[in-house]
Structure 1
Amino acid sequence: MKINRGYVRRLILTPGQVAALDVQGHAARALWNLLHEWWMWGGTGRRPSLKDADEAIRQARRDIPWLADLPAQAAQQVLKTYVRAWKNFFEGRARPPEFKSRVRSRMGVDVPQARDLAVTRLSRRVGQVRVAKVGVIRFRWSGPIPGIGREPGRTTGARLVKDVLGWHIVFRTEVQTATPAQHNGPAVGIDRGVNVALALSDGNDQTHGAWLRPKEAERMLRLERKAARQKRAREPFERTSNRLHRTYHQIAGLRARAKRRRHDWQHKTTTAIAQQYGIVVVERLRIKNMTRSAKGTTEQPGRNVRQKAGLNRVMRNEAHARTVELLEYKLTERGGQLLPVPAAYTSQTCSTCGHRDPASRAGIRFVCTSCGWTGHADTNAAVNILHAAGLGRVRTWSPAPEGCETSTTRRAA
């Protein structure tokens, strides 16, 4: 089995190296925009070929001197990425390519050939890598990387990316492993929620604290209020001031820190679940539909708009879709299986008698109106999710949502 993975490491740069990478990042973004404009409105009357696009890039690098600051291989990779974006669009996997904004887009520079990296480990915590037109730069050695040193596998390339916390390098790796044996662990149902991040059907709930520490949360609140005051002080259509830009940058830094802590918790939690359980059952949720605004229209305005906006913010902060993505590939690598099931009525049905009644759910408390069973609503939903996959004790009931349904109990095969 071939496993492709990316390993992110933070770069340790001098001011000159930061400036050089910023120039390459802006050149890559400008080259993408020029390529997109030429591809869409080149005036050829037909779809351009890769040969024509390659020649157009070469001519642009000759005509515009600062485009030559981007290494030739990185420029060729911009073309490959652009063509891949169109292919993903035609196959229904993504939206069509668009122009990249200088403010909102994320800067990145590709190093497609691994042999050009010359990765070396200098000490226990520091390594170095070679980047064209920048030189040798150091990075934090925060863990092993396949294909480097004695680690099995190979490094196929890298990509330099910049976020609000600085420049990072992402090593693209490939490892060949034997097909794993079937995982003999138990099956479990997982309910993803807000009160309990991951409620498991066996009671082994996974929770976390606030992503920001109390002092950081206070600072975030002060910065958001400061940004609101600075924004109100602007005249209509006035250009954003440098002070407001600096405030936005500080807010983005705190949000990026919280995002990293969430990713760290998700990785550790999903790894532990994949190691313990052989089959994991989750709801098939449409997160985008669940987090839509409740504003409505002018003719039909929504209700409880502010409350729904707060709930949407909390749900997005949990990143439930990413949790499922991590679970899927980690279970596959360990011989486990992820089973998605429909989410309808899992929170309204009693996991003991099978009676369905919306009145049974009262916040985080579930009290069955038929048999009187009482428990945590998220744990009850997790058990129903496990039942929906045909595992454990499965309840069958009539589809009518009201009244006292007669239920039967059977053992899963």
Structure 2
Amino acid sequence: MVNFSPKLDVSLDPPLPKTRNEGLVIRKYGGSSLATPEMVNEVADEVAAIAEAGDRVVLVVSAMGDSTDRLIDLAGKFAEPPAPRELDQLMATGEQVSAAVLAMALTERGIEAVSLSGDQAGIEVAGEPGAATIVRVDPGKIAARLRDARVVVVAGFQGRDADGELLTLGRGGSDTTAVALAAALGGSECEIRTDVHGVRTADPRIVRDTRVVRTISYDAMVELAGLGARVLHPRSVELARRHGVAVRVTHASDPGPSTVVTAGEASMEDVPRVIGIAHERDVRLVRVEVSASGPDHYARVLATLAACGVRPDNLSWPDPGELRFTVRGTEPLGLPIARLAMELDARSTVFEDLGSVSVVGTALLDPPGFLPGLLRVLADHRVTVPAMTTSPSRLTAVIPADAVDMTVRALHDSFGLAVDRP
């Protein structure tokens, strides 16, 4: 029997004590690992073997296959756009279906299992529909179930707020659910089972000879995830870092290498090195010309953009009357630009068809060899760079979208990230 020591109501802020429960497996399965009944049964076989060996298991599941996309399409047949609250009620059912059928499959194998919604699992959230954040987990809810069952299957991506409203967590929500439960329950590790063998040095769809990064720090993983790597969501990594939960990313069904995201070894100084190359395809550069300059006026520009849901990257002020920034994604910019013109008498120009490439690592600016290396690759391939940002952990260049793939391959090769060749 697992000994659950946390209190019945555990807030995720401040961090929990570092006491861990041995004999407790916490694992998340992505939707691609549960896409068909046959795949659900394969997962059930694997989990049943763990439970039969004596461990207690808490699973977090995403919606089966493309269920989320189908639910969004279904909502669009009745309302365009759907009311955010009602869309959340609909989308939360995808994960609940996965949890229920997996619990059924485990029960058929003689394993006592129970499925729980996010609310039933004690997950309290706050925020807006489609973008809630986890504020509290009551581990007593799951602990009570584990006294009678060997496996608890939790629907990811969701919870209830203080008013009893069901809210979903947005992109990456199931990863975040799994890490939050690991923190609250005292799990020593949170496993993320997906359709890739861990975190790679670049997107393997672009670069053929990538390799798996066996161990990566929280900081480096946050950078990779935030700059285009899709394996983990930055929110889940930030949560893991805050509570000291190691995260293992591994393939759901194909044995092979895996990546462990952890604090890493303590050292006096970071060793300068490149860990991976990340990229984005949908980037726009926005130039805003303002009639007045100064921090206060720029603050008003940024506040107006935030009110419209725009999150600027790579901010710069080429001259006192001009603000430049990039925006990732394809959301229309017509409304924020119109508001800037109306409220602040600002003129805006949007440059389309851009992407970005990012070199991610440690101590990249000391010594300064990595930045010249990036610029040399861009120059050798005649790639124009309308914007750039640097920090000790990343070097990001905004470039034409049609040059992204070639640049990723060139940088991966230039920084020696390829697998060893015989």
The alignment's TM-score, normalised by the length of structure 1, stands at 0.26
The alignment's TM-score, normalised by the length of structure 2, stands at 0.26
Larger Rg belongs to? 1
